[in-house]
Chains A and B, each alone.
Chain A
């Protein structure tokens, strides 16, 4: 059955994402800065909001309140999607695509 959708055809395929953590955020992920993850396929496209929930559930090792706050990241953590400010991409509503690079940089306790 062909469903016409406006989002494009990548719907039921797992998405491979390259995640990076810096500026101290990596401490919450066992010190590992680079993560290549594959998000399981689902009917709706993955967006940043869901990604954060997924990270919290699957990658975050400790102290979730130091990374996420409510729906979004904790204030002070910058997010770059493909080396661009996520504010320009729609922040939480941005829909992830295969091979996207998402970087989380903590600017707290900066030097």
Chain B
């Protein structure tokens, strides 16, 4: 692969450069101004039409946004999200029957604290962004990253998703909305709506950042040793802030401005980071993992070239804000490396990004039944992706005798914990423990005690008889989040909502461990039965079932 340029430069030589201006492939009249994809030349007007149409088509094809719904637009100031904002504005303003019909709000997260920006730069950026937002007329929320230190635990609590809205009801919902609107107009209710909007504008400013939070954020990011971990942590915290703001203000959908190029890069870097299990939701059109708030990505069909051209040709204002990866070398982090790899490959093989994109479209999760209610142990504490923690179908009857531990002996994540301890030479100690004296339940199953990841293994003593051990955060995380946390010099720099939610979950697991005979709550036992069907993508778990 590294030799691509040398080997293939011959056959890939571009055909003779156009001496006569190329004509637009669509209208065949005007001169083309840009080439997108592999060789499609568009003139200015046809390109605009194509761009605008694609946005509507994306929303129309995936009928997840219902009329009148409150949608939060996550704008970072960069080209893709600014373009998305413009498209939403344009779509809402049209008088055609096909106009978009939802109630947008904007969220902007000031990440200057993590990226070492000084106060002056942050102020300047904020005021520029505010000016842009005010022009749109939508309610906006400016949140600083430091506010993660005042988030409540409830952000991480899994929520079961709202009632399923089947596709057929979409048309009905649209009709109903249109009828209602007519009635409202006649009764002059438009005025009150506008007044409400105006009020919404007033109270959305984030309060001044407190110096303790600022310091805490700096400590958090400086305790992460690698840029990879820092970028991953930033992404996680950003998602939590957006989620919290959406919930607080009643938004049921969040629109992210991820472009096709960015998602292709994310797909590959997520695989490298160990997030293979959640690829479909991380790069797909909709991400339902949070339950009540659904993340959608309407820009996922646009390459970054199309977006940059559109912004330039049609005057979309965007800011460049330095991030964690700015001006770093190609190899500074996994994400950077993947970006430079994909972009470089794209330069020589223009169908790279679209191929990756098409592949990602084929990924689907075997969706766990949402109606079963969320079990906390099933989701990673940080990224809230589903974690393979349960064994197979045949296990469930024996579950409460042997496998009351949240990390099941036969699951994939348990296996990785074992191999980790093995390589550190810690497992030898556990083998010497007398299983009978160790486990409070008196079960003599050596499998459950010796192989057990956290409870009995830690320090070689059983936690049941003593005060509960401090929460082992890593055991509550998926593989990838665990790697990020392992990169931290000090786990206590994490924001309080993470550490206290970890304590809570750990304690409830300890309770289970201490009381093996205690019957599950009805919800938990129902979940066990249903969830064993869920992890169809990890056949290894099932096969090991006994």
Contacts and interface: CB of A to CB of B under 8 A. Distances in A.
A interacts with B:
yes
Interface of A: 22-24, 26-27, 63, 66, 75-76, 78, 80, 83-85, 87-88, 90-91, 93, 103, 105, 107-111
11 contacts: A22-B312, A23-B79, A26-B320, A27-B322, A84-B34, A87-B35, A88-B41, A91-B14, A105-B308, A109-B323, A110-B79
A76 B257 contact: no
A34 to B, nearest CB: 14
Given A83-B33, A85-B35, A93-B17, A108 B308 contact: no
Nearest to A103: B312
Nearest to A76: B343
A53 B55 CA distance: 39
A23, A63, A87, most chain B CB atoms within 10 A? A87
A79 to B, nearest CB: 11
Given A75-B343, A76-B343, A85-B309, A110 B327 contact: no
Nearest to A106: B320
A66 B307 CA distance: 21
Contacts of B304: 107, 110
Interface in B325-354: 325-327, 339-340, 343-344, 346-347
Contacts of A78: 305, 308-309
B11 interface: no
B516 interface: no
A85 B17 contact: no
Nearest to B39: A87
Contacts of A110: 78-80, 259, 261-262, 304, 307-308
A63 to B, nearest CB: 6
Contacts, number: 92
Interface of B: 14, 17-18, 21-22, 31-35, 41, 76-82, 257, 259, 261-262, 304-305, 307-309, 312-313, 318, 320-323, 325-327, 339-340, 343-344, 346-347
A47 B22 CA distance: 20
Contact of B18 (A24, A83, A88): A88
Given A63-B327, A88-B41, A108 B343 contact: yes
Nearest to A28: B327
B308 A23 contact: yes
A58 to B, nearest CB: 21
Contact of A80 (B312, B320, B343): B312
A109 to B, nearest CB: 6
B327 A66 contact: yes
A91 B16 CA distance: 11
B535 to A, nearest CB: 35
A111 B81 contact: yes
B313 A111 contact: no
A26 B322 CA distance: 11
List the 4 shortest-distance A-B pairs measured between CB atoms, nearest first.
Answer: A111-B78, A75-B347, A111-B76, A85-B34
A110 B76 CA distance: 9
A83 B346 contact: no
B339 A108 contact: yes
B332 to A, nearest CB: 12
B308 A107 contact: yes
B346 A91 contact: no
A107 B261 contact: yes
A62 B212 CA distance: 35
A27 B115 CA distance: 15
B33 A88 contact: yes
A107 B79 contact: yes
B312 A83 contact: yes
Contacts of B340: 75-76
Given A76-B343, A109-B323, A111-B79, A88 B318 contact: no
Contacts of B347: 75-76
B305 A22 contact: no
A107 B305 CA distance: 7
Nearest to B320: A24
B306 to A, nearest CB: 10
Nearest to B22: A88
A95 B79 CA distance: 30
Contacts of B34: 84-85, 87-88
A66 to B, nearest CB: 7
Contacts of A108: 339, 343
A105 B339 CA distance: 16
A56 B305 CA distance: 23
Contacts of B322: 24, 27
Nearest to B33: A84
Nearest to A87: B35
A27, A76, A110, most chain B CB atoms within 10 A? A110
A75 B330 CA distance: 12
Contacts of A75: 340, 343-344, 346-347
B325 A109 contact: yes
A78 B79 CA distance: 13
A33 B387 CA distance: 47
B326 A88 contact: no
A83 to B, nearest CB: 7
A76 B307 CA distance: 13
Contact of B80 (A83, A85, A87, A111): A111
Given A75-B344, A83-B312, A88 B78 contact: no
A1 B61 CA distance: 68
Given A22-B320, A76-B343, A107-B261, A27 B80 contact: no
B88 to A, nearest CB: 16
